[in-house]
Amino acid sequence: MVKAELDAAWQESLPGTPNHHEEGGWIYQMTTGEVLTFVRATPGAPGDTYMSLANPPSVPGFTLIATYHTHPVLSSDFGFPEASRDDLLHSGYTNVPWLIRSENGIESVGPERLGAEPYGVWLHGYENNRVDTTWCPANRGGG
Ligand SMILES: [Zn+2]
Protein backbone atom coordinates (compact mmCIF):
# COMPACT_ATOMS: atom_id res chain seq x y z
CA MET A 1 0.00 0.00 0.00
CA VAL A 2 2.82 2.36 0.87
CA LYS A 3 4.74 1.22 -2.19
CA ALA A 4 1.70 1.77 -4.42
CA GLU A 5 1.24 5.32 -3.13
CA LEU A 6 4.93 6.14 -3.57
CA ASP A 7 4.90 4.67 -7.06
CA ALA A 8 1.84 6.79 -7.91
CA ALA A 9 3.54 9.92 -6.56
CA TRP A 10 6.62 9.04 -8.61
CA GLN A 11 4.61 8.81 -11.84
CA GLU A 12 2.75 12.04 -11.07
CA SER A 13 6.03 13.88 -10.49
CA LEU A 14 6.81 13.45 -14.22
CA PRO A 15 10.37 12.20 -13.78
CA GLY A 16 12.74 12.91 -16.60
CA THR A 17 10.54 15.60 -18.15
CA PRO A 18 10.90 19.41 -18.13
CA ASN A 19 7.83 19.58 -15.89
CA HIS A 20 9.29 17.33 -13.23
CA HIS A 21 8.27 18.37 -9.74
CA GLU A 22 8.29 16.82 -6.31
CA GLU A 23 5.18 15.02 -5.10
CA GLY A 24 4.66 13.70 -1.61
CA GLY A 25 2.93 14.03 1.69
CA TRP A 26 2.40 12.33 4.98
CA ILE A 27 1.53 8.82 6.07
CA TYR A 28 -0.71 8.22 9.05
CA GLN A 29 -1.59 5.06 10.88
CA MET A 30 -4.82 4.51 12.75
CA THR A 31 -4.02 4.79 16.44
CA THR A 32 -5.85 1.56 17.21
CA GLY A 33 -4.74 -0.51 14.25
CA GLU A 34 -2.66 -0.78 11.14
CA VAL A 35 -4.99 1.07 8.80
CA LEU A 36 -3.03 3.66 6.86
CA THR A 37 -4.07 6.86 5.24
CA PHE A 38 -2.12 9.19 3.00
CA VAL A 39 -2.40 12.96 2.82
CA ARG A 40 -0.77 14.73 -0.10
CA ALA A 41 1.09 17.98 0.39
CA THR A 42 1.12 20.78 -2.17
CA PRO A 43 3.38 19.57 -5.00
CA GLY A 44 6.63 21.32 -5.73
CA ALA A 45 6.79 23.83 -8.57
CA PRO A 46 7.49 22.45 -12.06
CA GLY A 47 11.21 22.33 -12.68
CA ASP A 48 12.00 22.87 -9.03
CA THR A 49 13.70 20.41 -6.68
CA TYR A 50 11.89 21.31 -3.50
CA MET A 51 8.57 20.85 -1.79
CA SER A 52 7.39 21.70 1.69
CA LEU A 53 6.33 19.00 4.08
CA ALA A 54 5.76 21.55 6.82
CA ASN A 55 2.74 21.46 9.08
CA PRO A 56 1.34 17.97 8.62
CA PRO A 57 -2.43 18.18 9.04
CA SER A 58 -3.94 16.65 12.14
CA VAL A 59 -5.95 13.54 11.27
CA PRO A 60 -8.27 12.54 14.14
CA GLY A 61 -7.66 9.00 15.29
CA PHE A 62 -4.45 8.70 13.31
CA THR A 63 -0.79 9.20 14.12
CA LEU A 64 1.82 10.57 11.77
CA ILE A 65 4.29 7.76 11.10
CA ALA A 66 6.25 8.89 8.05
CA THR A 67 6.63 11.43 5.29
CA TYR A 68 7.28 10.72 1.65
CA HIS A 69 8.33 12.61 -1.43
CA THR A 70 9.87 12.09 -4.83
CA HIS A 71 13.19 13.10 -6.35
CA PRO A 72 12.16 13.26 -10.00
CA VAL A 73 15.34 14.67 -11.52
CA LEU A 74 17.15 11.70 -13.02
CA SER A 75 20.83 11.19 -12.39
CA SER A 76 21.27 11.23 -16.18
CA ASP A 77 19.98 14.83 -15.98
CA PHE A 78 22.45 15.59 -13.19
CA GLY A 79 19.84 15.04 -10.48
CA PHE A 80 20.38 13.60 -7.04
CA PRO A 81 18.15 10.57 -6.43
CA GLU A 82 19.50 10.00 -2.94
CA ALA A 83 18.18 11.60 0.22
CA SER A 84 19.41 15.16 0.55
CA ARG A 85 21.13 16.64 3.55
CA ASP A 86 17.87 18.44 4.37
CA ASP A 87 15.97 15.17 4.14
CA LEU A 88 18.28 13.65 6.71
CA LEU A 89 18.07 16.74 8.90
CA HIS A 90 14.30 17.00 8.79
CA SER A 91 13.79 13.30 9.42
CA GLY A 92 15.64 13.89 12.66
CA TYR A 93 13.48 16.85 13.54
CA THR A 94 10.23 15.04 12.82
CA ASN A 95 11.27 11.77 14.48
CA VAL A 96 9.59 9.71 11.77
CA PRO A 97 11.11 7.99 8.74
CA TRP A 98 11.35 9.99 5.55
CA LEU A 99 10.70 7.88 2.48
CA ILE A 100 12.11 9.08 -0.81
CA ARG A 101 10.99 7.61 -4.14
CA SER A 102 13.48 8.09 -6.95
CA GLU A 103 14.68 6.23 -10.00
CA ASN A 104 16.47 3.96 -7.53
CA GLY A 105 13.25 2.90 -5.82
CA ILE A 106 12.38 3.72 -2.22
CA GLU A 107 14.95 4.98 0.23
CA SER A 108 14.16 5.43 3.90
CA VAL A 109 16.11 7.77 6.12
CA GLY A 110 15.65 8.93 9.66
CA PRO A 111 14.97 7.28 12.98
CA GLU A 112 14.63 3.52 13.25
CA ARG A 113 14.83 2.85 9.58
CA LEU A 114 14.71 -0.85 9.05
CA GLY A 115 16.85 -1.90 6.16
CA ALA A 116 16.07 -3.09 2.71
CA GLU A 117 12.29 -3.07 2.68
CA PRO A 118 11.24 0.16 4.34
CA TYR A 119 7.74 0.04 2.94
CA GLY A 120 7.25 -3.47 4.26
CA VAL A 121 8.67 -3.49 7.73
CA TRP A 122 8.66 -0.03 9.23
CA LEU A 123 5.02 -0.21 10.27
CA HIS A 124 5.86 -2.46 13.15
CA GLY A 125 7.64 -0.86 16.04
CA TYR A 126 5.96 2.51 15.70
CA GLU A 127 3.00 1.72 17.91
CA ASN A 128 4.37 4.01 20.60
CA ASN A 129 5.50 6.77 18.30
CA ARG A 130 3.25 9.70 19.00
CA VAL A 131 3.81 12.92 17.12
CA ASP A 132 1.91 16.05 17.98
CA THR A 133 0.76 17.06 14.54
CA THR A 134 -0.74 20.29 15.78
CA TRP A 135 2.80 21.55 16.12
CA CYS A 136 5.13 19.33 14.26
CA PRO A 137 8.81 20.15 13.96
CA ALA A 138 8.33 19.43 10.25
CA ASN A 139 7.29 23.05 9.98
CA ARG A 140 10.97 23.79 9.88
CA GLY A 141 10.98 22.89 6.23
CA GLY A 142 11.09 20.23 3.59
CA GLY A 143 13.71 18.89 1.27
ZN1 LIG B 1 14.26 15.27 -0.71
Residue 112 has a pLDDT of 62
- Distances in Å between the alpha carbon of 37 and those of 29, 84, 128? 6, 25, 18
Percent pLDDT > 90 in the chain is: 45
pLDDT tens digit string along 43-54?
Answer: 999 998 889 998
Question: So where are the chain's domains?
Answer: 2-139
- Ranking 16-20, 29-33, 103-107, 136-140 by mean pLDDT, the lowest is 136-140
CA 53 / ligand 1 centre spacing (Å): 10
CA of 89 to the centre of ligand 1 (A): 10
Residue 121 has pLDDT above 50, yes or no: no
21 Cα–ligand 1 center, Å = 11
Q: Which of 121, 120, 71, 73 is nearest to 100 (CA)?
A: 71
Ligand 1 (single-atom ion) residues, CB below 5 Å? 84, 87, 143
Phi, psi of 17 (to 5 degrees): -115, 165
Q: Pick the range with the lowest mean pLDDT from 70-84, 86-100, 107-121.
A: 107-121
pLDDT at residue number 135: 35
pLDDT grade, residue 68 (50/70/90)?
Answer: very high
pTM assigned to the model: 0.78
Average pLDDT, the chain: 79
The three-state secondary structure class of 91 is helix
Task: With CA atoms as reference, report the closest residue to 102 among 116, 121, 83.
Answer: 83
